[in-house]
Amino acid sequence: MVDAESKLDPVTLELIHSGLLDGAREMASILKRSSHSPIIREMEDFSCSIFAPTGESIAQDERIPAQLGAMSLAVQTCLTEFSDGAAVSPGDTFLLNHPYMGCMHTPDLNLVMPVFNEKKLVGWAGTTAHHVDIGGPTPGTLAPHHRELFAEGLIFPPVKLYTEGDENQDLFSLIRANVRDPKALVADLRAQHASCLAGERALLQAIRRYGTENLILTFSEILAQTERSTRAALRDLTDGETHRMGFLDDDGLGGEPVPIRVQLQKKGDELLVDLTGTSDQVDGALNVPWASTRACVAYLVRTMVSLDIPSNDGLLGPVTIRCPEGNLLNPRFPAAVSVRHNTCQVVADTLIRAASDLWPELAVASSSVTFFGLQIGSKSPETRETAVLMEVVGGGTGGHEHGGGMDGVDTYMSNVGLLPVEVAETEYLVRILRSELVDGSYGDGAHRGGLGICREYMILEVPQIATLYCEQVVDEHRPRGSRGGGDATPTRVAILGPDGSILSTRSKSSTLLSPGSVIRVETSGGGGYLPA
């Protein structure tokens, strides 16, 4: 073992950091392979990270940008709530999902575990995973028509799900009694706990090999290196100021389009992201809690500065975010936030378009930000127990200087896979009639955009409640081309009755559907780059 008193040399630094990155990847592998729900094991809507004792993210398994840019705030909430330290012991694991206490929306459950060595806090291991149902009036919990947080299922401030390694049976019983698929949720929570244990092992292994002091020095140096690299990359970019407007199709309740205004001001090695021109918070569930707004800005920095810079909290060192309370992107409690990700996608696209104006050499056409989300309160064909289908359908990415966009992917802040047809038809009373790319949905150009996706879902055997939400059905909000490239097509949604008649073309709705009804979506493609 390296002498704890020795100076941290670059080789030791790299070995420790690489070991922690491997630990985060092992955490992700364990969570994926031991979880129950398709949203985690198949679609991979989860993230894992290792944190410094003070809560900063140090080593991440990079999966869902919307989660990774936010998780450290959940750890810091635990530190604040248990600041005296007396109530925290080795083996404790905290559960939290409160969007106004550093979390995102209620279905994203955070499990964070403090790691101790000889009674000293040396770090944290944490996971975030989307659970298909966390209670509330709507199967799947998420719904655009919610008007306050209290409609969005169970809300957890930091509470101990595990105390000194033992399950809190009262809390598990409370959770089981309030969700539609308790077996799945409890199994997934246990998978998250197993993942945290892997993160704990990685931290303790680093201590055994290199010593506690070298581990702590690594945390400080990795954050400092990332900030220095980010500042250096910013210095290489042209100084300037620009703004862009984006729009949600409506407020979640069928109202008028909702404006999102971003202003970027880059000077030297610092970047100001000003969101003050964005709409006030809305009555529907499209408001964005601060953790998710912060994640949008982290995504911008990560993509526009350099992919070679590690992803950790040092990325935001040179960045100032300005956004007043009561804004759509910094709402006041208890505004509803469950469908906040649709807004995040529009924010990410607006940020990227603004950055493309400021730095044309990095320009990219707009990607689809439709983010078609679908939840169906169904039943298991085998057991006839309640089962909730959760689906996310992506679209095309934008063309760019080096080539065309990608077809049929979950863009920007997301990275979720399509629900496999075989899984959907095995686990739910649903049949997927079509799953194909939408011909001609891209924006044309020298480098065309990617194609959108068409999917059709038929309700089988019993009436089922389907909730759907998406953006870009308004033609003016379709994905835009860049530097003269063509725009992509907008998204189209329809619900058909058993006789084939059109029941609805609304982009946000929650409806009880009879057997034989079909939900159809054709998502937007990506914009084109340069004239064809």
3-state helix, strand, coil in the chain (%, to 5): 30, 25, 45
Over its length of 532 residues, how does the chain's per-residue pLDDT go in tens digits? Answer: 334 444 789 999 999 999 999 999 999 999 999 999 999 999 999 999 999 999 999 999 877 877 767 899 999 999 999 877 668 899 999 999 999 999 999 999 999 999 999 989 999 999 999 999 999 999 999 999 999 999 999 999 999 999 999 999 999 999 999 999 999 999 999 999 999 999 999 999 999 999 999 999 999 999 999 999 999 999 999 999 999 999 999 999 999 999 999 999 999 999 999 999 999 999 999 999 999 999 999 999 988 887 788 889 999 999 999 999 999 999 999 999 999 999 999 999 999 999 999 999 999 999 999 999 999 999 999 999 999 999 999 999 999 999 999 999 999 998 899 999 999 999 999 999 999 999 999 999 999 999 999 999 999 999 999 999 999 999 999 999 999 999 999 999 999 999 999 999 999 999 999 999 999 999 999 999 999 8
Task: Output the pTM of the full model.
Answer: 0.95
Tell me the pLDDT tens digit for each residue of 295-334: 999 999 988 887 788 889 999 999 999 999 999 999 999 9
304: its two tokens: 């526009």
Within 93-170, strands assigned E span 93-96, 108-117, 120-130, 159-163, 166-167
Amino acid at residue number 29 = S
31-to-25, 266, 329 alpha-carbon distances in Å: 10, 39, 30
What are the tokens at 222?
């990795």
Position 363: which residue type?
A
59 exposure class (CB count in 10 Å sphere: 0-12, 13-18, 19+): buried
| Helix runs in 122-181, H state only | 169-176
